[in-house]
Structure 1
């Protein structure tokens, strides 16, 4: 269960609407000034809209219930959205560099900066509010698609502020080559952001384990709730969108009744599901003859 009643689809749709609104203002700022740096800022808003659209479509698929062909659900669809967004970001960065490179050696004085920068600042303020809202909602829903969208827009806000400060300096000093130089610096930052998104999304598709920060509560819960059992080992975890998957072997006494072993497993499963917010837990019960003397066991983990 999620922590609030606002669906991820509603959040993604809001991101798309706000993205269209912000694009209009940023393109107006570019049209008023002719600034290549503001052009780069406006171009990234096109990426924001495409990314929000992809996130909306991915979430529609991800929240479909499991079916015969997808018994584990459709949650990995969110990672495809994040990968698409990463690719769009990289393409936008390349286009910005191509546009700015020629202007770097032939800078021109900019006009209409007072109203142009004001319009851009207003648009950036709206983007900042949207970014914080998306990141907050991604934590409520454990959604990589919303998180990618929020972080992307937040990075856009940071670069927009840098662009505004830089253009202001160019205006004060007359160093108009700062405008295309800033655009190139923005593009480099966008390239880094796109590669970071691609890496994180590919990790999700490759079933990478939870991070150490996420794993420690899992270990603590298993250790706290396994009273009556002897050992837990071969603990494996992964994430798929808003779902968490935990698998491990639980060693119990050979003469323990099946019902008692089941109650232990049920207790662990409920605790993990509550802590991880929608967890699929698979526990393989083994007799004490299967104790592991070496290898990856809970006991070893907790004593490291």
Structure 2
């Protein structure tokens, strides 16, 4: 069974609204600054989900005259903007926490409020796992980023709940704003991590070393008849992996023979890397290089 990425994004928006309503109710019931911070992060989740939906639909557009490599980088741009919003939410949480820390007070109806917040957290756990799983399966950076962000929200929510339980048991009302500050720092860090990984995609950062090694192995296994492959370059853009390299063949080899080798390598790479875009530049044997090359000689 396959799920459309845009449908998952719509589901995230709907769930985000439900979770926000529950968390806001929990905050209004208790007056807890920590629960306020939890609710504010849910606002970010909703806006981020809307941005992810727009980015997914843009990235799904086929290449055109102005965008010959497609529109898949729109998802990375969405993730960067989501990271910036997370940072803004952290700043707002910090401001509210510092104000509450100056005059801490006891919570109203803490048990009921924590129960409502716990239900919202459970919903987030289930949906975060769905997004992470399907984001990886369909290779959607926007969905995967949303899933990781929701899981971060889950972790902070659990910390908030246990912290507030401790505050009630001990009578230390200052724990509430301190928890909010801890949440803000965690949110700030998650925003930075998200922006860092997405900026790497926008800057054509190379894939993980294990993917590069796998590509070299495939070239070596399917390059019979050629002499060498060098200047291998790779980049990951959304669901597409771009692979470029030079293939050295004997000088007397015909165009048809060298083309057959390229076809064989491309077919193997396409199977291993779904959605790969492969570009091979064929050169004669006097163009051989030394150093970081894939030796194809028998």
TM over 0.5: yes
**Distance in 1 (alpha carbons) for counterparts of 2:107 and 2:260:** 72
- Corresponding residue for 1:288? 285
Q: What is the CA-CA distance between 1:7 and the residue it aligns to?
A: 1.1
Q: Which runs of 5 or more residues in structure 2 are unaligned? A: none
Per-residue displacement from partner, 1:130-152 (whole Å, max 9, x unpaired)?
11100111111111111111100
Q: What is the CA-CA distance between 1:298 and the residue it aligns to?
A: 2.4
- Corresponding residue for 1:72? 69
**Distance in 2 (alpha carbons) for counterparts of 1:98 and 1:214:** 44
Q: What is the CA-CA distance between 1:299 and the residue it aligns to?
A: 4.2
- Partner residue of 2:144 out of 140, 147, 152: 147
**Distance in 2 (alpha carbons) for counterparts of 1:277 and 1:16:** 29
Per-residue displacement from partner, 1:74-113 (whole Å, max 9, x unpaired)?
0000011101100110000000000000211211000111
**Distance in 1 (alpha carbons) for counterparts of 2:235 and 2:160:** 39
Structure 1 stretches of 4+ with a deviation exceeding 4 A read none
- Corresponding residue for 1:298? 294
Matched, 1:232 2:214: no
- Corresponding residue for 2:257? 260
- Match of 1:73, SS state, is coil
- Corresponding residue for 2:214? 217
- Match of 2:244, SS state, is strand
- Corresponding residue for 2:196? 199
Matched, 1:174 2:175: no
Matched, 1:48 2:45: yes
Q: Which runs of 5 or more residues in structure 1 are unaligned? A: none
Q: Residues 149 and 190 of structure 2 are in contact (CA less than 8 Å); yes or no, is this contact kept in structure 1? A: yes
| Range with bigger deviation, 234-243 or 260-269 | 260-269
| Range with bigger deviation, 118-127 or 218-227 | 218-227
- Match of 1:171, SS state, is helix
Q: Residues 34 and 177 of structure 2 are in contact (CA less than 8 Å); yes or no, is this contact kept in structure 1? A: yes
TM-score, length-scaled by structure 1 = 0.95
- Corresponding residue for 1:208? 205
CA RMSD of the aligned region, Å? 1.2
- Match of 1:133, SS state, is helix
Q: What is the CA-CA distance between 1:213 and the residue it aligns to?
A: 2.5
Aligned residues: 296
Q: What is the CA-CA distance between 1:275 and the residue it aligns to?
A: 1.5
- Corresponding residue for 1:105? 102
TM-score, length-scaled by structure 2 = 0.97
- Corresponding residue for 1:120? 117
**Distance in 2 (alpha carbons) for counterparts of 1:108 and 1:213:** 53
Matched, 1:31 2:28: yes
**Distance in 2 (alpha carbons) for counterparts of 1:231 and 1:287:** 10
Q: What is the CA-CA distance between 1:256 and the residue it aligns to?
A: 1.6
